[in-house]
Structure 1
Amino acid sequence: MGTLELKNVSMSYDTKKVLEQLNMTIHDGEFISILGPSGSGKSTIFHLIGGMLTPDEGAIFLNNKEITGKKGHISYMPQAPSLFPWRTVLENVLLIQEINGKKDKQLALDMLKKAGLADYAYAYPDDLSGGMKQRVSFVRALMSPMPLLCLDEPFGALDELTRLDMQKWLLSLWSMDKRTVLFITHNIEEALYLSDRIYILPSNPNDSLMEVTVPFPRPRADDLWLNEDFLEWKKDIYYKLKPSGMTAK
């Protein structure tokens, strides 16, 4: 189970208010994206959920248990793959389990096979492309027993075609695992294609948090982003990201 709640969370850096009375609920098995302009607090939310920061006000709950300011309750995948170059792909994937005192080599090999990386289990990160490194990083995150997976713009540094392939791959692997996912992105199309719901952070923390329920059924079509309805939703969210905003559909 991986149900996450942020209740009346506020956070400031020095005198700059970043989050003001923020409320979010992410249900078990949901894929939720967070969109927002630079400086709106997207990464701050992850740092708060992960216990690296403690909010000025409010509380954070995972499965009805308060985790405010506590570490070790989520699995986190950063923007960069962060693989150790002296460890093989398999050794990198097993790292989280090593930290937790339990290794399942066969499970790791099975996960790498599902990720299309079976032939690279004993290769080193320098032998991999950017997209392959991201796959290794994601498999490592899935090897964690934590019920909540936080992905911080994992495809932002990839080229357009590689990113599209990675989005399809992520959905195919997630559909087998169905772990609760919280996904930060600045890309509207990516959020629409991947998510069940989208939270849109305002540029001004005093403005209201917006929420969009994505209407497209799963599994998502490969050419969904060419669909006229998809383009209309993209346009609508684009205007929501503007300070003036638009009303939700």
Structure 2
Amino acid sequence: MSLEIHDISKSFEDNHVLSNINFSVKDGEFVSLLGPSGSGKSTLFSIIGGMSQPSGGSIYLDREKINGKRGSISYMPQSSSLFPWRTILDNVVLGQEIAGKVDKEKALEMIERAGLKGYENSYPRQLSGGMKQRVSFIRSLLSPQSLILLDEPFSALDEFTRTKMQKWLLSIWEEHKRSILFITHNIEEAIFLSDRIIILSNKPATVKKEFIIPFDRPRDVNLLLSEEFLTWKKKIYEEM
């Protein structure tokens, strides 16, 4: 499912947050947004998700205008946002439940793929941070929408768990090839995960630069220590 952002601007009275943002996400593509804190990345996500109206511009999903339309995308926030009173299985099928078509067999299969077999009837309080994030991502994958927005989903994890989660995310994404738009402040994370990286300026944010990442898939963590990877990290750091 392709996403097109055309001249999106957003102001809150005299606070100009976004200014003429233009970019696209192709079907099955993994695109990351990098930018300084407070540059409006989460505001942009709320506009794409229909929770907020832009001050100007249009959003198209498969050529259909979705300004202010909710339910068009699947969204995974920084925190896992699991319902504490629902079991892991019930949390995972929530998106399907809302859409009126629950496939518990598929959900159980995905829970097993995530290394969470045996936790189906557990509650979020019984899981570690990384396990909760896996549950949240499975919920996003099982929701009927083909575009997933990920807002710094691994920012609260320690470095070892974060790397493990990045590898897991790529393994699942490469199998299902959903379109992903990913917010991060971590340059290494953006390079390791993405097909393309879009750099946003300070607010009012504009698209400052776009990079096509040349590394083949599937990607291995050894890539993080390669000279070419470090060259790309330097290039993007200097642009930011």
Q: 1:196 to 1:117 in 2, by over 3 A?
A: same
Q: Which moved more, 1:94-103 or 1:66-75?
A: 94-103
Q: Which runs of 5+ in 1 are unaligned?
A: 242-249
Residue equivalent to 2:98? 99
Residue equivalent to 1:48? 47
The one-letter code sitting in structure 2 at the alignment partner of 1:156 is: S
Does residue 73 of structure 1 match 2:72?
A: yes
Question: CA contact under 8 A between 1:75 and 1:148: conserved in structure 2?
Answer: yes
Deviations 1:125-156 (A, max 9, x none): 11111100000000011110101000000000
Residue equivalent to 1:200? 199
Deviations 1:78-136 (A, max 9, x none): 10001111211101111111111221110100111111111211111111111000000
Residue equivalent to 1:218? 217
The one-letter code sitting in structure 1 at the alignment partner of 2:131 is: M
Deviations 1:202-234 (A, max 9, x none): 114376521011111111122111011101111
Residue equivalent to 2:87? 88
State TM-score, norm by structure 2.
0.97
RMSD of equivalent CA atoms = 1.1
The one-letter code sitting in structure 2 at the alignment partner of 1:33 is: S
Question: CA contact under 8 A between 2:9 and 2:56: conserved in structure 1?
Answer: yes
After TM superposition, give the deviation of residue 37 of structure 1 in Å: 0.1
Residue equivalent to 1:140? 139
User: SS at the partner of 1:189?
Assistant: helix
**Match runs of 1:1-249 below 5 Å:** 2-205=1-204, 208-241=207-240
Deviations 1:140-185 (A, max 9, x none): 1111010100000000000000000000000000011100000000
Question: CA contact under 8 A between 2:30 and 2:196: conserved in structure 1?
Answer: yes
Inter-partner Cα distance in structure 2 for 1:208 and 1:142: 28
Inter-partner Cα distance in structure 1 for 2:219 and 2:169: 12
Question: CA contact under 8 A between 1:22 and 1:209: conserved in structure 2?
Answer: no
State TM-score, norm by structure 1.
0.94
- Percent identical pairs in the alignment equals 58
The one-letter code sitting in structure 1 at the alignment partner of 2:74 is: S
User: SS at the partner of 2:16?
Assistant: strand
The one-letter code sitting in structure 2 at the alignment partner of 1:85 is: P
Q: Which runs of 5+ in 2 are unaligned?
A: none
